[in-house]
């Protein structure tokens, strides 16, 4: 059995990330979602090169700054970071984006991401940002709520849950929201009935798909020739964006800019899922720039 670890966040698919990125001495490395630096530490140990770490969460940035004294640590969302680095004409041999939330986000009820632990309706990855889950839940129209539940949550009962939410206002806490969403799904289900509602609101609060869709083309310019890009996604909407983008860039034309390193996404082994349940839905796709 794996010994108990005090790591704040266990990196997912680490061996696969190292296999596809194949870091070598002197490589420059950009981590767009550095979090608590699990992937970054393993990669930096192999490259001994320039390291640039990005995260929109101040807690993560504080940990990264302590842990990586030689790295450039940027407290920004990755779209803003890609725009800044593009303006500076920077290029990197290795780029990693391990999307979504970290374990401290999910485990700290105060951050408002947890369905089961009671906390405020927050869900901001960057607590400095204005828009919160509280605003979405309490001020967006029923039509807007239906739309995000349908598109970001892929929730079959989107309209019913949006109506229940509007009727139950004001809602203050995560468990209140979870209880309202659960009313649309009486009886037992394998996943918590509010899972899709929480996913939808979290994606809306953090503009997760907008960030990814706009940053992907910039990542192409930030990759040096021969450079490798790896992206880990945690839900089908993100994975669809990544898959389509990589497929377009690695098309059949002889001058296609990318070559795929993963024809199918790499996923976690049963052993990894047992020791790190967050890895259950992780999908890794990677490509190399020609």
Q: Which residues bind ligand SAM (CB under 6 A)?
A: 9, 11, 33-39, 54-57, 60, 77-78, 98, 100, 102, 125, 211
Q: How far is the CB of 207 from ligand SAM (least distance, A)?
A: 8
C-alpha distance from residue 127 to each of 58, 88, 98, 117 (Å): 8, 27, 20, 19
Q: Which is nearer to ligand SAM, 38 or 153 (CB)?
A: 38
- Closest CB to ligand SAM: residue number: 35
Which residue, 64 or 164, has its beta carbon nearer to ligand SAM? 64
* Whole-angstrom distance, CA of residue 105 vs CA of residue 34: 14
C-beta of 38 vs 193, nearer to ligand SAM: 38
Give the shortest CB-217-to-ligand SAM separation in angstroms. Answer: 15
Cβ proximity to ligand SAM, 98 vs 239, nearer residue: 98
Tokens (6 digits) for 10? 């266990």
Find the shortest distance in angstroms from Cβ 112 to ligand SAM: 14
Which residue, 78 or 140, is less far from ligand SAM as judged by CB?
78
Q: Which is nearest to 85 in space by CA: 219, 231, 203?
A: 219
Strand order, beta sheet including 92-98: 72-75, 51-55, 29-31, 92-98, 223-233, 283-289, 258-260
Q: Is 24:94 a contact under the CB 8 Å cutoff? A: no
Of 125 and 223, the one with the shorter C-beta distance to ligand SAM is: 125
Place of tokens 């898959």: 243
Give the residue with the Cβ less far from ligand SAM, 67 or 183: 67
Ordered DSSP codes for 219-233: HHHHEEEEEEEEEEE
Q: Supply the minimum distance, in Å, between the C-beta of residue 224 and ligand SAM.
A: 21
C-alpha span between 285 and 96 (Å, rounded):
10
- Encoding tokens for residue 31? 């981590």
Judged by beta carbon, residue 194 or residue 284, the one nearer ligand SAM is 284
CB of 85 to ligand SAM, least distance (A): 13
55: closest CA among 95, 99, 110?
99
Residue 87 CB, nearest approach to ligand SAM (Å): 17
Give the tokens for residue 43.
Answer: 């990669």
Write the DSSP string, 49-102: S-EEEEES-HHHHHHHHHH-TTSEEEES-HHHHHHHHHHTT--EEEEEEE-S--
Minimum CB separation of residue 166 from ligand SAM in Å reads 29
């Amino acid at each position: 059995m794996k010994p108990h670890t005090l790591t704040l966040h266990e990196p997912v698919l680490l061996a696969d990330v190292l296999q596809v990125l194949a870091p070598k001495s002197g490589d420059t490395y950009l981590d767009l979602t550095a979090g608590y630096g699990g992937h970054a530490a393993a990669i930096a140990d192999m490259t001994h090169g320039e390291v640039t770490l990005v995260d929109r969460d101040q807690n993560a940035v504080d940990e990264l700054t302590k842990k990586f004294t030689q790295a450039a640590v940027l407290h920004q969302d990755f779209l803003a970071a890609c725009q800044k680095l593009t303006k500076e004409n920077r290029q990197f041999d290795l780029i990693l984006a391990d999307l979504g939330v970290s374990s401290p986000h999910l485990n700290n009820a105060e951050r408002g991401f947890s369905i089961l632990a009671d906390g405020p309706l927050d869900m901001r990855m960057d607590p400095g940002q204005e828009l919160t889950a509280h605003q979405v839940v309490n001020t967006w129209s029923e039509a807007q709520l239906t739309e995000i539940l349908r598109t970001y949550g892929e929730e079959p009962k989107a309209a019913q849950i949006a109506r229940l939410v509007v009727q139950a206002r004001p809602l203050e806490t995560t468990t209140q929201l979870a209880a309202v969403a659960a009313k649309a799904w009486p009886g037992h289900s394998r996943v918590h009935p509010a899972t899709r509602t929480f996913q939808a609101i979290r994606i809306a609060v953090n503009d997760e798909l907008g960030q990814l869709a706009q940053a992907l083309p910039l990542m192409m310019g930030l990759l040096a020739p021969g450079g490798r890009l790896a992206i880990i996604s945690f839900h089908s909407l993100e994975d669809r964006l990544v898959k389509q983008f990589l497929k377009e860039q690695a098309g059949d034309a002889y001058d296609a800019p990318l070559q795929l390193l993963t024809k199918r996404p790499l996923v976690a082994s049963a052993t990894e899922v047992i020791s790190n349940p967050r890895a259950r839905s992780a999908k890794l796709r990677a490509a190399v720039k020609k």
